[in-house]
Chain A
């Protein structure tokens, strides 16, 4: 953290005011974010945009109730006003004046800050998108449209609470997304590929713009002439890195402590139980830099951690935010996150992934007589109370006699989390991670997903042709 956004003595007085009506806990979350974006579409750099956002969210907790207010006025007067609004929920009088003494703590970031975006020229960012457009269009004459988007952000946070904690972090994030439309006799198809890491502009040393654009173009072209997806239960092989969203949806959300405490998860009261195939070891890890979901401290000021959620199929731990953990008298797991200072934090995943196993990825396909090979998944959605979840295939093929054959059109897969986890019968020795955005309760936060190539013995494939 380079310098305070709000001075320590101001934060101490604001916390004191926030507790004046009898609150048990108060927190000030200060955030400053600058961002820039460029979009190229239809062969034109249509727009460059830049944005600046700063403000503070203040919460006051009394028993089970949280009062919250936010403001973009970071003067002492503005913060004190927000503290009064937030504390209006705790009206039962109380403890009179409280003083809060803050003790600043600094933690090592998972990723050093290198190429800051403001040191890179806008022309250099524009050139990336032009290269993406050229690469995608030269990949195949079937590519009829290319959209490429670049975005970067620098975010600084400062978190102070009435338990005396004062900390914060600074992070840089950069992303590039390329979307292609291919046209053929059977209509149009789309292909999308994203590169996104918690890095500055050195992101493009990790993977080239050309590689991203080629992947998007190839994905769109591969589906021209694709057959309708089958309808019914089939074995499904997920290629490494593509299917991590499966675990995010199938069990990740169900292991978030808010769902557990409210008894709205199928995984409530299941610690120590076999909830998945013994081949499954699932981890949520906010410390793996420079993945999209990594951080130094979470948005409640606690260091990111590596948490093993399922070990060899046995449920070992849930994910916790500080507020819920504090009520339950236990430690947070560093999973308290929020979209911005305008939002209350809640339990969220960071980078969630399945650890690699022993199987040769090629052999997994070779030993599947008939099924679906999913090379790329889109997003998904889960109902944590029933465990039913969907996830979408955006590049998939039939497997016939142990070989990947014809491409199939986009469709959703649907399954029940606990059932699907128990049906994983092969886990590859390979591994990859991919970026995503989790939209729990309407709040978007960056997350990472990962997995080795694996096979599920049966999932319902939501296509239109008879399986």
Chain B
């Protein structure tokens, strides 16, 4: 294992004059396996590493990255970042963070067990997943692909302002995509499971989810347009929360692009809704000891009893807003600079299971998958319109399946129309946690 923190320190120590230097270094080992018709379709394994250097000189920020972690590459990136800084607009607020004295919580996200798992065992997991899915129902015509993927990654951040942190984590996941057929009709369903080591993976649940989702859509028709309650499956709720996180980013707020700017203390959601971003919770996929600038992650309450309580800040946006970082800097690897963002958003769960929620709805749609989220949701205006598939709810029971519809509203209105919050918390991969959420007064467009 290379000494990432040692190299990061060495780069940071080269700051001269009034200059600030930060080095972010990441390395990882990844495996991904795809099986098809009981054979390995592809098996990929690789180690990769890279570093990103941020330089702040006279209030100007420059950045450079390189996909290598040798000494010569580091020196070249530092020189490039310095040169880039000369052309940025000076800004008194853009400097690197100083250590804020908060100690990171003790989280161990590394499993030696995953590192020691043989490739053969990983292949077997993917083959088992395909087999279980095919065996799940006679109407499953085929499994398009069954996948296993894992990563063991390490990172280190050091800066001339005194930040020094190292971090590491393991993760693994399986996913399967199946087609159910009945006569001329074909429908698709998706299942997945995730964990930090292979024993965490609930392969059977991934298979049965894909089977159920595909088979229950058989015979789906395009229904007539109507206004109804949508019951969002956990994965859809997580997607909605991730969109919401964009509007609560301190950067969007301070730049006047957020629906929720200047609304602290206002009732932005129903009183039953509580939202936190808590990367210190080890159950969350996005759990982390430190943020992407090396400050301790912390539990941030965003909405309490429906009232807007706060935003997510990195160092710069915190300074612009006249406050400080909430430990919410995220970055997409060594190639990008930090921005504020969520890691572990979660709605406080309610009392009812998904089945019980469905039982209380007279006219609704259980949404099991959505499409066109990147094209149909505008996080600045709040307009929300996505393609959907699911099952109609009539008088408290699941009824006929539907497809080729859209469901639409605005983000603002959806938060005010949450009618039930599920108890079925699901720690999904990504930056947000799933649970069933019922939202009233949505427009379903069909024929």
Residues of A within 8 A of B (CB): 38, 41-55, 63-72, 82, 85, 88-89, 122-123, 126, 144-145, 181, 183, 187-190, 223, 229, 231-233, 262-264, 342, 344, 377-383, 385-386, 388-392, 394, 409-416, 460-467
Given the known interface contacts A390-B371, A416-B404, A462-B387, the answer about A262 and B144 at a Cβ–Cβ threshold of 8 Å is yes
**How many interface contacts (CB-CB < 8 Å) are there between A and B?**
251
A198 to B391 alpha-carbon distance, docked (Å): 45
Contacts of A262 in B (CB 8 A): 36, 142, 144
- Chain B interface size, under 10 / 10 to 19 / 20 to 34 / 35 or more: 35 or more
A386 x B403 contact (CB < 8 A): yes
The residue on B at minimum CB distance from A343 is B44
A412 x B372 contact (CB < 8 A): yes
Q: List 13 A-B contacts (CB under 8 A).
A: A48-B84, A50-B80, A189-B381, A223-B381, A377-B375, A378-B375, A390-B376, A391-B372, A412-B372, A414-B405, A415-B404, A416-B404, A460-B445
B25 to chain A, nearest CB (A): 14
A181 to B64 alpha-carbon distance, docked (Å): 29
B67 x A55 contact (CB < 8 A): yes
Contacts of A460 in B (CB 8 A): 222, 404-406, 445-447
> Does B66 sit within 8 A of A, measured CB to CB?
yes
The residue on A at minimum CB distance from B255 is A42
The residue on A at minimum CB distance from B334 is A51
Contacts of B86 in A (CB 8 A): 122
Q: A48-B85, A229-B408, A409-B383 are in contact. List 6 more A-B contacts (CB 8 A).
A: A41-B255, A123-B87, A181-B380, A388-B389, A413-B406, A414-B445
Given the known interface contacts A48-B88, A53-B67, A123-B87, the answer about A65 and B375 at a Cβ–Cβ threshold of 8 Å is no
> Does B139 sit within 8 A of A, measured CB to CB?
no
Residues of B within 8 A of A (CB): 36-37, 39-49, 61-68, 73, 76-77, 80, 83-89, 91, 94, 119, 142, 144, 179, 186-188, 222, 225, 255-257, 259, 335-337, 371-372, 374-376, 378, 380-383, 385-387, 389, 403-409, 443-447
Contacts of B45 in A (CB 8 A): 68-69, 85
The residue on B at minimum CB distance from A52 is B66
A464 to B63 alpha-carbon distance, docked (Å): 44
A65, A123, A412, A415: the one contacting B376 at CB < 8 Å is A412
Contacts of A48 in B (CB 8 A): 62-63, 84-85, 87-88
B225 x A231 contact (CB < 8 A): yes
A181 to B408 alpha-carbon distance, docked (Å): 22
B61 x A390 contact (CB < 8 A): no
A232 x B374 contact (CB < 8 A): no
B41, B142, B389: the one contacting A66 at CB < 8 Å is B41
The residue on B at minimum CB distance from A70 is B46
Contacts of B144 in A (CB 8 A): 262, 264, 385
B371 x A383 contact (CB < 8 A): yes
Contacts of A47 in B (CB 8 A): 61-63, 84, 88, 337
Contacts of B259 in A (CB 8 A): 187-188
Given the known interface contacts A385-B188, A392-B372, A462-B376, the answer about A410 and B383 at a Cβ–Cβ threshold of 8 Å is yes
B62, B63, B376, B378 — which one has the most chain A CB atoms within 10 A of its CB? B376
B266 to chain A, nearest CB (A): 15
The residue on A at minimum CB distance from B86 is A122
The residue on B at minimum CB distance from A415 is B404
A361 to chain B, nearest CB (A): 24
A412 x B385 contact (CB < 8 A): yes
A51 to B188 alpha-carbon distance, docked (Å): 40
Contacts of A412 in B (CB 8 A): 372, 375-376, 385-387, 406, 408
Contacts of B63 in A (CB 8 A): 47-50
A344 to B33 alpha-carbon distance, docked (Å): 12
B41 x A64 contact (CB < 8 A): yes
A190 x B84 contact (CB < 8 A): no
A44 to B256 alpha-carbon distance, docked (Å): 15
B67, B385, B447: the one contacting A410 at CB < 8 Å is B385
The residue on B at minimum CB distance from A441 is B145
A220 to chain B, nearest CB (A): 9
Contacts of A377 in B (CB 8 A): 375
Contacts of B37 in A (CB 8 A): 64
Contacts of B36 in A (CB 8 A): 64, 262
Contacts of B378 in A (CB 8 A): 190, 410
